[in-house]
Amino acid sequence: MSEFTEDVFPDVGFALEPPRKRETCERCRRPATVCWCPFLPSPIDIKTRVIILQHPYEGKRRLSTTPMLVNGLAQGSCTILLGSRFNVSRYPLLEEVVGAPNTVLLYPDSSAVPINTLPTDKPYNLIVLDGTWLQARGIYGKNSFLQQMKKVKVTSASVSKYVVRTQPTDECLSTLESTALALESLENDSTLFEKLTKPLNALCDFQLRHGAVAHQSKEYLIKNGIYKSQKNSS
């Protein structure tokens, strides 16, 4: 019996071609047809060091906004540390910045001060918590060194551009948006938010054109009596 070296359709007698895989961007891990990388700015030089403490589940999301931030800033300006509980002694970067007078945590609790009240004549270490609001609160609660830091908050006159993901309230922003607003203030550069969020605009546009539905905040849904009906119908 001869040995077959390729698959042949028995009734027709021709070789079957293997299914073609969709071309995927190595940087954003999205199909090439919906890649947001062309919308990235040329890597932006900043004096601020951004350190993102990212919940492990957030790192697995294909719609995460943190890769846009890492790729939109100059190399080495933004570092992601993955986990929910951080032993400072195991992270040289954290060990270096924890306790430094120019280190601030972007976390909007009652003790946080508006970031635009900080002087801009020195560089800062900006620590950001990345995940859902519940996950971010979990990271904050599990790491006592974060609770001892100076906390800052940002404000925005408009709702989040991240319309393909539900936010808790109309004031909540994605990690990319809140960090971009913080950098505008720390770097004294009012163009940064627009430059850094262009990939987010593209991502949401791609998703909506491919069947995604624009999301209102949970707060909006509750106020308008929609949240309960949506929850019951799901």
Range 13-41 average pLDDT: 78
Per cent of the chain over pLDDT 70 is: 76
- pLDDT value of residue 13: 53
* Residue 93 confidence (pLDDT): 94
Give me the pLDDT at residue 220, please: 41
pLDDT tops 80 at residue 218: no
Confidence of residue 182 (pLDDT cuts 50, 70, 90): very high
Domain boundaries, the chain: 39-228
Assigned token pair, 143: 């790491």
- Give the pTM: 0.80
User: DSSP secondary structure string, the chain?
Assistant: -PPP-S-B-TTT--BPPPPPPPPB-TTT-SBGGG--GGGSPSPBP-SSEEEEEE-HHHHT-TT-SHHHHHHHB-TTSEEEEE-SS--GGG-HHHHHHTT-TTEEEE--STT-EEGGGS-SSS--EEEEEES-HHHHHHHHHH-HHHHTSEEEE---SS--S-TTS--SSTT---HHHHHHHHHHHHTT-TTHHHHHTHHHHHHHHHHHHTT--PPPPHHHHHHTT-HHHHHHH-
The second-level CATH assignment, the architecture, of 39-228 is 3-Layer(aba) Sandwich (3.40)
Tokens found for residue 195: 């430059």
What was the pLDDT predicted at 47? Answer: 97
Taking the mean position of all CA atoms in its chain, how far away is CA 85?
19
Confidence label for 33 from pLDDT (cuts 50, 70 and 90):
confident
Mean pLDDT score of the chain, rounded to an integer? Answer: 83
pLDDT band at 38 (very low <50, low <70, confident <90, very high): very high
> Residues near 162 by Cβ (< 8 Å), separated by ≥ 6?
65, 173, 174, 176, 177, 200, 204
Tell whether the model's pLDDT for residue 37 goes beyond 90: yes
Q: What's the rounded mean pLDDT across residues 88-97?
A: 95
User: Is residue 231 predicted with pLDDT exceeding 50?
Assistant: no
Q: How confident is residue 92, by pLDDT bands cut at 50, 70 and 90?
A: very high
Contact 140/129 with Cβ under 8 angstroms?
yes
Higher pLDDT, 16 or 182: 182
Measured from the Cβ of residue 161, the count of other Cβ atoms closer than 10 Å reads 19
